[in-house]
Amino acid sequence: MTFMDCKVCRESMYSYLRGYLDREEQRQCNDHLHGCPECRREVEQELRLNDLLDDWDVAGVGRSFAERLLRRPEKKRQRTRGHWLRRLLPIP
């Protein structure tokens, strides 16, 4: 029998919450969460965040916006890459 530590549990959290772990990994993670309040708290926070994101009503963009975006010339998109970074950092 192998025991899961906090590092492995946190690395496996995404897969754990989505049911991607095999039975043994799932059991190890469950066992760890029963004995580790810190990791259990992280899982609970992740579940609350997922619930909030599921309930979030995101306004969609109109078809015309998507069409205009796709028609933008590649040259213009390349020119603006990193523009926000140049504003923040004194890069010559």
Provide the token pair at 65: 């916006």
State pLDDT tens for residues 42-78: 999 999 998 888 888 777 777 787 777 777 766 555 5
- Give 79's pLDDT tier (boundaries 50, 70, 90): low
pTM: 0.56
Q: pLDDT higher for 80 or 43?
A: 43
> Domain 1-80: which topology?
Arc Repressor Mutant, subunit A (1.10.10)
Structural domain boundaries in the chain? 1-80
pLDDT of residue 64: 82
